[in-house]
């Protein structure tokens, strides 16, 4: 928690205590101390009833540790007397928030637990000889104190969770990019080893011996513990896990029934293994393209790093009072190129245009292929006048260029462009929206033109400058 945030919290919490009737503070302290075990029991009873919460709390854990910790936490929170150490109480809430983040207990479950505590405490208060106003005051104090605690926990949770997620991601990238091609060969080899062992056991091994399962083979262990994590975003990961299960839990189990089934299923297992090898190749190929951030066809940057580059350029421009511009380019009637000359010819045009854009921009600029026939250039350290002439020159030069097709023919293409200059807005989505709208207008106004987004407009008005 930042020092400004923690001093705000401490001030608010202090104010809460000093503005509360001391009798009410005393009564709450006594009630919580007397009923802490009952409150903890109620809390866990509700939580264990809910499926989403109970996965985090086994009955044993509740009995042995958490029940006691919860009671202790409640007593400490409400033990407000002359010796009450608010700084220590806040530090305890921070620690608990960090623990929740580490063990990934969702914050909404913690808040739900707090709600149950408030409900039950309200019932306890109703059993006390208090008038309505006293009851209200006491309940208010109980709820406000829990809310303060939740606020501190929530802040600690969020920053700790972010930190953990970032390091998870760094680890994921690290684990995936380390010697990607060596890893692929190693794992394909491990899969082959397992297949060979299985074949050996089935053909010349002891017929009563247990067959080696794939899940706990070198390959299976690697995939479960590392591969699945590294490739978590790919649909192939789930398919691989499913195929491993089918091999182990279906095919191999059936193979224990006798020689004939063994031989029959061996063929099926070998087909499955072949499929696994294809899936592995696919998954490794995809991740090397994506993780490297390069578009496979043009070798330009792909859209993966666009947010990072834009955020960095915005921070740089704001820090240095400099400017930059975003130029979006889209080939006109590109479908016609594919339709007339074939997809391969289309690919070749895309590749040549990629090379052309790189050689016609400065070393500091970032050239992206966003997908299809759409490109984007981040023009760094450039004022609007220069950005505009760069955009126009590119448009003219592309139109004048000959693009060579695989059949030896040469064709001309044109591009439509949208240009947006940085206007100080801190969110990169703003400039992206501006440039998208400008490109859309360039297409709708006849193509082969540059449209500049209105620099001061947040609602993406744009102005046609030239065609």
Ligand X SMILES: Nc1nc2c(ncn2[C@@H]2O[C@H](COP(=O)(O)OP(=O)(O)OP(=O)(O)O)[C@@H](O)[C@H]2O)c(=O)[nH]1
| List of residues contacting ligand X (CB under 6 A) | 297, 330-335, 338, 343, 346-347, 350, 372-373, 443, 447
In the bound state with ligand X, the residue whose beta carbon lies nearer, of 303 and 443, is 443
Q: Nearest 5°: CA angle at 81, between 79 and 87?
A: 75
Please state the closest distance from residue 411 (CB atom) to ligand X, in A.
13
CB of 448 to ligand X, least distance (A): 9
Q: Of 164, 63, 171, which is closest to residue 105 (Cα–Cα)?
A: 164
Nearer to ligand X by C-beta: 164 or 352?
352
- Residue 272 or 332: which CB sits closer to ligand X? 332
Q: Specify the residue, 195 or 373, whose C-beta has the smaller distance to ligand X.
A: 373
Please state, in angstroms and rounded to a whole number, the distance separating the CA atoms of residues 61 and 290: 42
C-beta closer to ligand X: residue 47 or 337: 337
Closer to ligand X by Cβ: residue 128 or 409: 409
Q: With b meaning 16 or more CB within 10 Å and e meaning fewer, what string describes 296-307? A: eebebbbeeebe
Q: At what angle do helices 384-400 and 343-359 cross, to 10 degrees?
A: 140
Tell me the torsion sign for CA atoms 441, 446, 448, 449: negative
Reference 229, options 247, 241, 243, 217; nearest CA is: 241
> Cβ of residue 409: shortest distance to ligand X, in angstroms?
15
Structure tokens at 3: 């020092």
By Cβ distance, which residue is nearest to ligand X?
Answer: 346
To the nearest whole angstrom, how small is the minimum distance from the Cβ of residue 343 to ligand X?
A: 4
Beta bridge partners of 462: 453
Query: Residue 341 CB, nearest distance to ligand X (Å)?
Result: 9
CA angle 437, 441, 443 (to 5 degrees): 120
Question: What distance in Å separates the CA atoms of residue 155 and residue 144, rounded to the nearest whole number?
Answer: 17
To the nearest whole angstrom, how small is the minimum distance from the Cβ of residue 100 to ligand X? 45
Query: 349 or 420, CB closer to ligand X?
Result: 349
What's the CA gap between 372 and 306, in Å, rounded?
A: 16
Whose CA is closest to 38, among 127, 159, 149, 161? 127
In angstroms, what is the minimal distance from the CB of 195 to ligand X?
Answer: 36
């Amino acid at each position: 928690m930042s020092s400004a945030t923690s001093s705000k919290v401490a001030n608010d919490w202090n104010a809460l205590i000093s503005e509360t009737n001391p009798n009410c503070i005393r009564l709450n302290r006594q009630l919580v101390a007397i009923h802490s075990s009952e409150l903890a029991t109620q809390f866990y009873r509700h939580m264990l009833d809910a499926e989403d919460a109970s996965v985090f709390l086994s009955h044993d854990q509740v009995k042995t540790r958490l029940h006691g910790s919860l009671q202790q936490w409640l007593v400490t929170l409400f033990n407000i007397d002359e010796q009450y150490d608010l700084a220590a109480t806040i530090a305890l809430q921070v620690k608990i928030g960090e623990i929740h983040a580490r063990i990934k207990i969702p914050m909404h479950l913690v808040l739900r637990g707090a709600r149950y505590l408030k409900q039950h405490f309200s019932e306890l208060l109703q059993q006390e000889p208090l008038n309505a106003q006293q009851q209200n005051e006491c309940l208010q104090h109980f709820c406000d104190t829990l809310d303060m605690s939740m606020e501190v926990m929530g802040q600690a949770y969020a920053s700790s969770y972010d930190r953990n997620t970032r390091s998870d991601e760094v680890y994921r990238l690290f684990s995936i990019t380390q010697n990607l091609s060596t890893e692929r060969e190693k794992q394909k080899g491990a899969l082959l080893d397992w297949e060979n062992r299985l074949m050996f056991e089935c053909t010349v091994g002891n017929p009563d011996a247990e067959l080696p399962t794939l899940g706990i083979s070198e390959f299976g262990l690697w995939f479960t513990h590392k591969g699945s994590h590294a490739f978590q975003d790919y649909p192939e990961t789930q398919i691989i896990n499913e195929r491993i299960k089918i091999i182990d839990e279906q095919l191999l189990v059936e193979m224990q029934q006798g020689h004939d089934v063994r031989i029959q299923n061996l063929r099926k297992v070998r087909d499955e293994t072949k499929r696994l090898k294809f899936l592995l190749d696919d998954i490794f190929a995809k991740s090397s393209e994506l993780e490297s951030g390069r578009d496979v066809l043009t070798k330009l940057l792909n859209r993966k790093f666009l947010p990072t580059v834009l955020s960095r350029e915005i921070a740089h421009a704001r820090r240095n009072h400099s400017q930059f511009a975003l130029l979006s380019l889209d080939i006109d009637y590109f479908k016609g190129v594919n339709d007339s000359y074939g997809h391969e010819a289309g690919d070749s045009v895309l590749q040549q245009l990629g090379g052309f854009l790189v050689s016609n921009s400065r070393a500091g600029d970032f050239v992206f292929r966003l997908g299809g026939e759409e490109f984007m250039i981040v023009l760094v350290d450039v004022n609007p006048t220069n950005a505009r002439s760069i955009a126009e020159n590119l448009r003219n030069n592309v139109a004048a260029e000959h693009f060579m097709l695989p059949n030896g023919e040469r064709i001309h293409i044109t591009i439509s462009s949208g240009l947006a200059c940085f206007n100080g807005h801190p969110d990169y989505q703003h400039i992206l929206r501006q440039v998208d709208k400008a490109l859309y207008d360039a297409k709708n106004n006849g193509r082969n033109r540059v449209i500049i987004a209105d620099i001061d407009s947040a609602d993406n008005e744009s102005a046609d400058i030239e065609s």
